[in-house]
Structure 1
Amino acid sequence: MGFLDTIFNAINDLTWGWALVPFLVVLGVFFTVASDFVQFRFFKRMFNVLRAGSETDDPTKISAREALFVSVGGRVGGGNIAGVAVAITAGGPGAVFWMWAIALVGMCSGLIEATLAQAYKRTSAAGDYRGGPARSIIHGLGENYRWLAIIYAVCLIASFAIGFNAFQGNTVAGAAQDSMGIPRVATGALLAVLTGIIVFGGIHRIAKAADVIIPVMAIGYIGMALIIILLNITSLPGVIWDIVANAFGFREAVAGGMGAAIANGLRRGLFSNEAGLGSAPNVAATAYNLHPVSQGITQSFSVFIDTIVICSCTAFVILLGDVYQPGAEGIDGVALTQQSMVNHVGTWAQYFLTFAILLFSFSSIMYNYYLGENALTFMTEKPVALLVLRIAIIGIVFLGATAPGATVVFSFSDPMMGILAIVNLLALMMLFPIAQRLIRDFRDQIRRGVAKPIFDPADFPDLDVDPGAWPDAPSARRPAE
């Protein structure tokens, strides 16, 4: 076991330790500049997805909005409650500014990877769509890169389906025990049953559940934060100035100053919104859309919701209160967020936050499971393999909830996610010219006055695209000659 720990720690140091965060930042900036700041140019279009029937109205397909909510449910989790608190404790208020900065850059990385996932998605026997970086590698780069796609798929299962699901179960059970005294076994059993109901329903049930849970979750949490902000509105300008001043070293809140703010803000921001890590594109590919870039814009919006909106809510709740003391040792993580809420509105807030954590974590469990399912179906189509995965996920969630030390899974899940991200970024670099062509096609149609651009595989004969995944394409509607 000690040998394995040494291996995993070495991988973690080589990825998250010094190489991966700069790689994600530099590549995100490159994508932003090379695409002519596409995430800002299409910002207004992002909000269109919130309207029902904004793109297509086929009830048998996963809509763009449902795919958005599933990915938001996955991105929004412990990182938005505990992770923001950790970033502020370790990096000071300035870390929040750098979380915002990496989110604005990450919106472009999210758009690019989701666009490629849509372009290379495949139609399953059931009529659903499957895609993501593994399939983009195979169909975009060729069979010679299958080994790279398999590495990606294995790491996706290990990090998200196994590691992070154990952590989510642990987070919910710990919060329920601390705030309401509910035994871990009882919480674990409830989570296991709910997980079983969802995962055996497949992506359609996951999407329908997310379409209900995520708006309730997001609106409730944002609403609570807005109440706290309004109660402290006169202090808000001072907090914003503290964030900016600490971000640029004008005022030092913790040891390390500006360097600590940048390091913690960038890392926690990337952990939270997952832009460029290669996870969310698996969900983006499930949506029935008219053009790959349309879903890319939608997924870019999910990065905005995660970090600019929800992480900011947590940051303001903490910084507007008296619990957080810059540079002081003691309260950290979810406890800091929880006690800050209690400080603002009373003891009932701890029960509200426990309920929020339950929704956040359960939505992440659904998301993490689907990532594992999608990776598994890439490697094998055998039904028994999928059954084993579903049973294993239910067991992992239960064990994660009942074992207080379940966070040890990070010793292997973090390194696996590091490898996953590097594979995804390598693929994005090689496939970026294809994404540029798709973005150019989308823009050209808008310039011609097309309100809803439509992707036509016939216009891209050199790409290994599944024509059946684009039934609205003009070439698909022409009568056979």
Structure 2
Amino acid sequence: MMEGIHQVVSQLNGWLYYPILIILLLSVGLYFTIRTKFIQVTLLKETFKVLTESPDRADGVSSFQALMVSTASRVGTGNIVGVSAAICLGGYGAVFWMWIVAIIGGASAFIESTLAQIYKKRDEEGDSYGGPAYYIENGLKNRFVAIIFALSIITCYAVGFNMLASYNIQSSFSSYDFYDAELTPMLIGGCLALLTGMVIFGGGKRIIKTTEKVVPVMGVIYVLAAVIMIVINFRQMPQVFENIFSDAFNFKAIFGGLAGSSMMHGIKRGLYSNEAGIGSAPNAAAAADVSHPVKQGLVQMFSVFLDTIIICSATAFMGLSSGVQPSEALSGAPYIQEALSTVFGPFGFYFISLSLVLFGYTTLVGNLYYVDSNIAYIFGKTPGKMFQLFYRALCVGLIFFGAIQEQTFLWDLADLLMGLMALINLPSILLLGHQALAALKDYLQQRKAGNNPIFKAQSIGMDDQVLDYWQ
């Protein structure tokens, strides 16, 4: 039965990604890059300034905290296992196409997160919440599509992404002598389910506090290890870049077998890693307590760069500079573990296992923050305690189930569910993008006048009754 399901999922992926999503992702990203006048570069300094700002309310969620929640989901096992798989299965050029998805996707990330801020709502405690479901319903006046999107993000993160993250974590232990193919995945899956349950049964606030502490430390240590590898193997770096660019533009190889090409693997793994344009990060962005929507748009744009340009590149350079040749047999954690062992010896294996546990754990936790948000949207309020207990228990069970599944099926399932989200969100932000662009113009005008930008609905030609949070 599972084999039949896998065949259907794989076939659907082929139709969805080529040509539909490749064209949609790149064209929407390029459109907003041009319309924002290359905001990824021109407002990078402003982004760092916004990151250091405190929330408007003493107990509000800061831009930095919202960044950490979205980064907890973005920065995960895909940054290690996903990058390794893309290189081992697609070739060196996959790294280039991951960069392209991140650079172009940064503009899409800005638009979707700015829209989430524009259309966000206020709860009884004064906190804000929102996401694509809210701007689809209130901006496009279509609750049916909004509910479909909410269901797609719930399924993608609770089922596809969390099952895959669980598998990726346990697979990093396959290199050790104690690993038993039957028993070890169940033990690790059980531990992950238990640890995740301890956090998610505490609610969204605990998720924010947990990710805020773990993510920065996790990212810094990982990048430092990459820097050490690159410094030691610096003579290999010119050849690494040559291999990346020559393979990326080997169009004969790409179009000879597109499904397994560096372009396709790079786009899929890049999108899986940074999530730009698929509609996940706006759920965290809407929670930030800022004076102007553009501030959080800039922060979420930076999260895409942090994820792919820095952390994914760190993984790629560690592997490609080591001298270990990527191959299908080493796809996933083993390739990066072998690469690190050339410098750090056996510690390289331990380090990747620890990194995957930390990256993966924050992914599991951050993903379920999005699930909470969209279940609340469908119900129109936070569901009752019994329902919360049921679906969180189900989410925990899926984490255990994912650890004992087959790798290829889990990647294909995650790709399909992620693609369906993008298929709804990208056209939505394209239709509503003019509002985010108007907000950007208003923001820049206030900055030019020397003011701290404060948003008013009238400033972008909208009714403050529609944007009730900004009244």
Q: Percent identity?
A: 36
Contact 1:291 1:455 in 2 (8 A): yes
Which string of whole-angstrom CA distances, capped at 9 and with x for unpartnered residues, describes residues 49-106 of structure 1? 553xx14263422111011011111111222112212222233322212221221111
Residue 162 of structure 1: which of 156, 159, 164 is its match? Answer: 159
Which string of whole-angstrom CA distances, capped at 9 and with x for unpartnered residues, describes residues 351-408 of structure 1? 111110011111111121111111111111331333322111122222323x243764
AA at the equivalent of 1:456: K
Contact 1:400 1:406 in 2 (8 A): no
State the alpha-carbon separation in 2 of the partners of residues 392 and 149 from structure 1. 23
Shift of 1:262: 2.9
Contact 1:167 1:407 in 2 (8 A): no
Residue of structure 1 equivalent to 2:221: 220
Residue of structure 2 equivalent to 1:139: 138
Aligned pairs, how many? 462
AA at the equivalent of 2:77: G
Residue of structure 2 equivalent to 1:153: 150
Residue of structure 2 equivalent to 1:378: 377
Gaps of 5+ in 1: 471-475, 477-481
Shift of 1:139: 1.3
AA at the equivalent of 2:233: N
- Does 1:420 find its partner at 2:421? yes
Matches within 5 A, 1:196-275: 196-249=197-250, 260-275=261-276
Secondary structure of residue in 2 paired with 1:18: helix
Which string of whole-angstrom CA distances, capped at 9 and with x for unpartnered residues, describes residues 188-236 of structure 1? 3332222122112222111111111101110010010011111112322
Secondary structure of residue in 2 paired with 1:312: helix
Change over 3 Å in CA distance of 1:30–1:56 after alignment to 2: same
State the alpha-carbon separation in 1 of the partners of residues 430 and 372 from structure 2. 26
Residue of structure 1 equivalent to 2:60: 61
Contact 1:172 1:361 in 2 (8 A): yes
State the alpha-carbon separation in 2 of the partners of residues 90 and 237 from structure 1. 22
Secondary structure of residue in 2 paired with 1:223: helix
Contact 2:119 2:467 in 1 (8 A): no
Change over 3 Å in CA distance of 1:39–1:465 after alignment to 2: farther
**Which region of structure 1 is more displaced relative to structure 2, 365-374 or 173-182?**
173-182
Change over 3 Å in CA distance of 1:460–1:169 after alignment to 2: same
Residue 172 of structure 1: which of 153, 169, 174 is its match? Answer: 169
Residue of structure 2 equivalent to 1:116: 115
State the alpha-carbon separation in 2 of the partners of residues 425 and 56 from structure 1. 29
**Which region of structure 1 is more displaced relative to structure 2, 386-395 or 148-157?**
386-395
Residue of structure 2 equivalent to 1:44: 45
Contact 2:128 2:287 in 1 (8 A): yes
AA at the equivalent of 1:396: L
AA at the equivalent of 1:386: Q
Residue of structure 2 equivalent to 1:191: 192
State the alpha-carbon separation in 1 of the partners of residues 164 and 77 from structure 2. 9
Shift of 1:109: 0.5
State the alpha-carbon separation in 1 of the partners of residues 371 and 139 from structure 2. 22
Shift of 1:41: 1.4
Matches within 5 A, 1:298-337: 298-324=299-325, 330-337=329-336
Residue of structure 2 equivalent to 1:126: 125
Secondary structure of residue in 2 paired with 1:134: helix
AA at the equivalent of 2:313: S
Contact 1:140 1:464 in 2 (8 A): no
Gaps of 5+ in 2: none
Contact 2:254 2:263 in 1 (8 A): no
Shift of 1:465: 6.0
Shift of 1:429: 1.2
What TM-score do you get using the length of structure 1 for normalisation? Answer: 0.89
Shift of 1:163: 2.0
Residue of structure 1 equivalent to 2:361: 362
Compute the RMSD of aligned alpha carbons: 2.6
AA at the equivalent of 1:242: N
Contact 1:102 1:269 in 2 (8 A): yes
Change over 3 Å in CA distance of 1:250–1:400 after alignment to 2: closer
State the alpha-carbon separation in 2 of the partners of residues 465 and 355 from structure 1. 49
State the alpha-carbon separation in 2 of the partners of residues 465 and 286 from structure 1. 20
State the alpha-carbon separation in 2 of the partners of residues 406 and 93 from structure 1. 21
Change over 3 Å in CA distance of 1:196–1:47 after alignment to 2: same
